[in-house]
Amino acid sequence: MNSALLDARWMGEAGLSGIMMMDNAGASVARETIARWAPCPVAALYGSGNSGGDGFVAAIAVDALGGTGLCPAIPDP
């Protein structure tokens, strides 16, 4: 099952919004990143595809947890 189908399923069955799922994913990535690699700066590299927002949210969450989150966007070639 691809990620778009999983997203649609969770939004339909659990009543989660796309924003809520992105926030939850970013917070989870940030917690694990800080736990494993703190105090190193974190760079979230992403393109313009569907995961771009997730990388941006994760970098913001790293900052909120006291780390340094960098999020340079890399455009598609």
Q: What is the mean pLDDT of residues 40-53?
A: 73
Mean pLDDT of the chain: 81
Six-digit token pair at 20?
């809520």
Tokens of 69: 């989150």
pLDDT of residue 51: 67
The predicted model gives 17-33 an average pLDDT of 88
Q: Is residue 77 part of a domain?
A: no
Can you give the residue range of the structural domain that contains 34?
17-70
What is the Cα gyration radius of the chain? 13
Indicate whether 1 belongs to any domain.
no
- Number of domains comprising the chain: 1
Residue 10 lies in a domain: no
pTM: 0.73
Q: Tell me the HSE value of 61 on the side-chain side, using a 13 A CA sphere.
A: 21
Q: Are 25 and 58 in contact (CB under 8 A)?
A: yes
pLDDT at 47 over 80: no
Residue 76 lies in a domain: no
